[in-house]
Structure 1
């Protein structure tokens, strides 16, 4: 109910202001009770008091204190308006409108309390230049007000004489005017304020109420039933209500930081003040033919203040330009040089130099798993490490994201170790891709080519530029251009490598492997086109085709050879595919379209793809929820393998060929293969040994507890029809 009533505060305040204007216009044409104009005056101010109190209740801390103080100040104005209403009904005066000392005292008290509330409002820190400029602005406004006041006082004395009441009225009007100046200056000088700037601007016109009411006293003197104070008080209430509404609207509980651009706009205030003073002085001189000492001295002082103000502004602008130039050439987060500065420095370097471009691998995954704060801290820590590795003659820059650049004199690169980095309470080890170019020509582009090679070839952490990289780059560009055409033209096909059961070698599953044959019969190695497909994003579309083709082939084998002919058909899924949230839907749709049970499909992923968690791990979890088997491929060669067995929904591990090659050697060479089968058995996981090439390896794997294997010893990757033949042979043998 209270909230609903508050919604009427602003409309009532608007109605009171409109009614006041209507009554003033009507009062110049007809006579009515002099009490009538005080109804909107009192109600308008009452709306401001109610709104200030509501603003205080809806805020906390400094804001609540500020609005409570303004509520008390406006309450004094409300009581003063009621007191003046009584004066109008009881006091008789000639020349000056009826106003008693009690009323004047209440107006002055309310004004002083409002000034106190504004002065006690924190304004935020500023530089000494900004503080000096603010002081000069205040002084300019004060001198302008003084010049205007000298003319105002003379006019006031001529109009109302020098009676005690006139003096008190003059003091009250001047105090109210000072309140308006204080509000404007406070808005100008504040760098930050807990009060919304819109609210402060709505409060500013209230300070003009006193002088305007005095002018209206003269203009309305011919109509005794009208009153200058009653004419302005509804607008005091309206502007106060608008200020409170600016505080209470959504987003109004905190004022934004005042940026330098805004402060430059605030220079209009002293310029306007100076312009008004000039107009006033010119008008007085043209009317009277002379100026008072105060007006001449004030105008001279005003000109000196404006010169000083502009000199300070130029100095501040110079500092601002220096700051802007600094940030244009430096990275805000790390403090290193920016990409713009770095490229310019490389271009201007004379003589032999070395450019190193460094990229943090899997930074996105780390950022997703540990959070943006840790990601920023990691970048800052790495920037500090790079700076500590090079001398004063080197240029270290952050080129963007997780990429850094070093420009070193001479042709010797620095070694960047992989010690842990401290990032927001975490110790993180990051792998790096580094491209190096040495010499004196086109170093940045050559280093970018080398970095590109290091990025697409995980086995090469550091790549130095040579001419062969250009040829490979051109080759990748050609492949990228042909990939989509090849997919549309049906140039890709799948081979299937059997997974067999030890020791007998019975085929129990297959792993699908993609191949590309051009129309001219030439083949493109997966090692060449898969990284390009990853880079271009076409791997998502290509991967969807592979999944659908594998499911279609699995359905065909089930139809020809029975549901139990193959336990598993495996498909490899890349890191880029795991970042695609639609992958589980792609798999589910393919399984449903071809009628293949989810348990027959195995999705093979690498440890690196899910190391950082985040979206990739969420996708794997969603795939597992479908009933699809998850296998970790090349197990033991990636990140934190044992930890992944706890966090990732794994059903099988495929032991990398590098561990199989060490079988039948020393106990040390066999140690990992032995340990892995023990871990898998304890955790209830299947194990598949990859890259088995000899009967001795197969026998030793069986002795160590392995029951599934694949490799050239059993079969090379085969087309679907040859898998059909193997299944037929197995069926005949079983029969």
Structure 2
């Protein structure tokens, strides 16, 4: 079950309020007696308040573009003006003078404010010629409407009707007719940003206004009362229904490739012609009363010529519209492609950045969830890019289904997604991140496979003065913190994280210089035969003595090297330096020297296409055999992807021995042994700690199982982190032959490690 669309339900409720107001007025008209008229007018402010709220809510939707949000915001402002008119109508309910200034002025202002809102939408050709045509159409209808009201409608006004009421009725009627022209043109534009049905629903408002203006001047008391009390509620129904329609369209997924809209000639296209024809009839009627036969013939002929010219122009527009329609279709498609990710149909980075910038510029709440699929490269490399694309598409659909209507999900590129939330509180942001992780935790059905695609999520809440780049950068920092913490989790950005990034960047720059200036050196952790006490091998460990900072812990600079890519040149230096040192030991100590040197290799090095050739070149230049080198890697490196596995297989076939470091800490250690050509298992220090007292039965069981597994698979087993005689004794009882740790020897400089090769075996009592 998807998330509850609360905002949709609220929109429908506002429509119900407006419709209920219309029904209430209708019932009052049917049953009213001689009671006060104000009772019938009281529902109008309630209905128009619902209309204002509906338009205001749709104006805050982050998914909508800035012009569309501005349009609905201005419609909400027009609703406020009409609300003022409704209140004025209620106050003046017992005044039968018709439409007074209290209602006319805000009504006219509301209509013109709505027309101004519509004028900001595409009305056809966005050129000077297109705007001139629109202006001429509106002017034609305005002039015709003025003449009709002046010579026809006002002629039916009762004697003694106030001049203010006449002017107000004419202004409302004419401006409403012009509003119909503008709505019609906006609704007829293919691919208009505002839904065309919503615009047609809004057209109810000017129609009601025209009818009300006519009836209030020329109608009898009964019909005049009906339109007076029903007019504003009907307009409120039109506004709330239009806003609800726009909300429903917004909630639907956008089509990947919308079909080109078919042109249908609208009734709005004939409004200017209708205005000309009506005016012509009016001219003929008026002239018939005041002119002789020949003068009337001239007037009639002139009018016919005008009608023919207008008809000819309308016929010529058909071909022009066909050409313009093709251009508009291409323009709409290009705009869609520019703002939409072609694979998933979500918003792309450009649209997401624009939406975030607009929200921040308007001082609206904003939170960004930055989502990165964990280990997607391994899936893509193992199963192919086609299946990887299918997985990304399904991830996008999960994000779309999990998002609220006011949220904006997007694909920023690769396996990186984002969601823009209309919120700035921690609880809402973290709840959204939790729901996102839960939505992605369910297996995906991709072809014939069921795949898990966990994600790491960075949460960044926009603060005062933040730019869109800063918010995205904060979310990115938090996302990397989530990955560093173990993946499949979310982390909310905190200011201290930015300082950590700055420190890492500074440390990375200094590390780059350290490699060039030879500030790095190697220590060697001896590996002993814990049965005989003889030195068996050594693990090369890189250290850094900074000229200012002093000793820099590997726990600080190794992660910086891995994140910055410096691990590749750093690892190359360690490999060559360790092999050269082993060659020197062999030349100095002969048969007493250790047989192999252990070198830690990062996954980033294994991804390098030329790594195998580099190892072969170093061995050749130092005079070592492949068997003299042990490459230590972690379990996560083995699971990285096809390129890494191919590199490891090539090293193994060359004769280089492979050691699985920190064995037992991963989630799939046993399965790795089937696919990975391992030679050595190194039991992680966490399983050695605490086994001496025998209280931690879990550690004892794992340590014993690894020893038995290595013996069964004919592998070497090395226990790491031995720090006491009791630990050494217990490991030896379990069957371990090799071990390393501070109890036997700390990491040593090259000369001290070489001295061990010439000394007697250590005591291993």
Compute the TM-score of the two structures, normalised by the length of structure 1: 0.56
1:462 counterpart = 2:475? no
- C-alpha spacing 1:303/1:505, structure 2 compared with 1 (3 Å): farther
- Compute the displacement of 1:523 (Å): 2.3
- C-alpha spacing 1:707/1:317, structure 2 compared with 1 (3 Å): same
1:558 counterpart = 2:590? no
CA contact (8 A) 1:368 1:612 kept: no
- Residue 620 (structure 1) aligns with: 648
CA distance, structure 1, for counterparts of residue 690 and residue 455 of structure 2: 28
- Residue 580 (structure 1) aligns with: 608
CA contact (8 A) 2:374 2:488 kept: no
The structure 2 residue matched to 1:319, chosen from 307, 323, 329, is 329
- Residue 330 (structure 1) aligns with: 340
CA distance, structure 1, for counterparts of residue 552 and residue 484 of structure 2: 17
- Compute the displacement of 1:324 (Å): 2.4
Q: Is the partner of 2:757 in helix, strand or coil?
A: helix
- C-alpha spacing 1:653/1:475, structure 2 compared with 1 (3 Å): same
CA distance, structure 2, for counterparts of residue 469 and residue 730 of structure 1: 51
CA distance, structure 2, for counterparts of residue 306 and residue 638 of structure 1: 75
1:359-370 pair list within 5 angstroms: 359-370=372-383
1:452 counterpart = 2:452? no
- C-alpha spacing 1:461/1:574, structure 2 compared with 1 (3 Å): farther
1:120-135 pair list within 5 angstroms: none
The structure 1 residue matched to 2:619, chosen from 588, 591, 600, is 591
- Compute the displacement of 1:574 (Å): 0.7
- Residue 370 (structure 2) aligns with: 357
- Residue 568 (structure 2) aligns with: 540
Q: Is the partner of 1:637 in helix, strand or coil?
A: coil
- Residue 255 (structure 2) aligns with: none
- Residue 389 (structure 1) aligns with: 402
- Compute the displacement of 1:461 (Å): 4.5
1:197-276 pair list within 5 angstroms: none
The structure 2 residue matched to 1:481, chosen from 502, 509, 516, is 509
- C-alpha spacing 1:323/1:460, structure 2 compared with 1 (3 Å): closer
Output one character per residue of 1:371-410: Cα deviation in whole Å (capped at 9) or x when no partner: 0111112212222233333322222111111111122223
- Compute the displacement of 1:678 (Å): 2.4
- Residue 177 (structure 2) aligns with: none
- C-alpha spacing 1:677/1:702, structure 2 compared with 1 (3 Å): same
1:434 counterpart = 2:457? yes
Output one character per residue of 1:640-665: Cα deviation in whole Å (capped at 9) or x when no partner: 32222122211111122222235223
- C-alpha spacing 1:698/1:731, structure 2 compared with 1 (3 Å): closer
- Residue 662 (structure 2) aligns with: 634
CA distance, structure 2, for counterparts of residue 311 and residue 459 of structure 1: 56
CA contact (8 A) 1:611 1:639 kept: no
CA distance, structure 2, for counterparts of residue 548 and residue 669 of structure 1: 37
Q: CA RMSD in A?
A: 3.1
- Residue 749 (structure 2) aligns with: 719
Output one character per residue of 1:417-462: Cα deviation in whole Å (capped at 9) or x when no partner: 4343333322223443322222434332211222233445657943
1:401 counterpart = 2:411? no
Q: Is the partner of 1:730 in helix, strand or coil?
A: coil
Worse overlay, 470-479 or 457-466: 457-466
The structure 1 residue matched to 2:695, chosen from 665, 687, 710, is 665
Q: Is the partner of 2:528 in helix, strand or coil?
A: strand
CA distance, structure 1, for counterparts of residue 610 and residue 579 of structure 2: 17
1:400-419 pair list within 5 angstroms: 400-408=413-421, 409=423, 410-412=425-427, 413=430, 414-415=433-434, 416-417=437-438, 418-419=441-442
- C-alpha spacing 1:314/1:716, structure 2 compared with 1 (3 Å): same
CA distance, structure 2, for counterparts of residue 376 and residue 422 of structure 1: 13
- Residue 371 (structure 1) aligns with: 384
- C-alpha spacing 1:436/1:711, structure 2 compared with 1 (3 Å): farther
- Residue 4 (structure 1) aligns with: none
- Compute the displacement of 1:635 (Å): 1.8
- Residue 725 (structure 2) aligns with: 695
1:491 counterpart = 2:519? yes
Compute the TM-score of the two structures, normalised by the length of structure 2: 0.54
- C-alpha spacing 1:596/1:386, structure 2 compared with 1 (3 Å): same
- C-alpha spacing 1:399/1:609, structure 2 compared with 1 (3 Å): same
- C-alpha spacing 1:637/1:459, structure 2 compared with 1 (3 Å): farther
1:343 counterpart = 2:353? yes
- Residue 135 (structure 1) aligns with: none
1:510 counterpart = 2:538? yes
The structure 2 residue matched to 1:425, chosen from 448, 463, 466, is 448
CA distance, structure 1, for counterparts of residue 627 and residue 647 of structure 2: 17
CA distance, structure 1, for counterparts of residue 665 and residue 444 of structure 2: 22
- C-alpha spacing 1:558/1:308, structure 2 compared with 1 (3 Å): same
Output one character per residue of 1:44-83: Cα deviation in whole Å (capped at 9) or x when no partner: xxxxxxxxxxxxxxxxxxxxxxxxxxxxxxxxxxxxxxxx
CA contact (8 A) 2:525 2:746 kept: yes
Output one character per residue of 1:330-379: Cα deviation in whole Å (capped at 9) or x when no partner: 21111222112222222314454432212123222220111011111221
Output one character per residue of 1:74-121: Cα deviation in whole Å (capped at 9) or x when no partner: xxxxxxxxxxxxxxxxxxxxxxxxxxxxxxxxxxxxxxxxxxxxxxxx
- Residue 110 (structure 1) aligns with: none
- Compute the displacement of 1:497 (Å): 0.9
- Compute the displacement of 1:573 (Å): 0.7
The structure 1 residue matched to 2:638, chosen from 603, 610, 617, is 610
CA contact (8 A) 1:630 1:650 kept: yes
CA contact (8 A) 1:353 1:411 kept: no
- Compute the displacement of 1:521 (Å): 5.6
- C-alpha spacing 1:705/1:449, structure 2 compared with 1 (3 Å): same
CA contact (8 A) 2:454 2:488 kept: no
- C-alpha spacing 1:396/1:694, structure 2 compared with 1 (3 Å): farther
- Compute the displacement of 1:304 (Å): 9.3
1:681 counterpart = 2:691? no
1:173-184 pair list within 5 angstroms: none
CA distance, structure 2, for counterparts of residue 667 and residue 724 of structure 1: 39
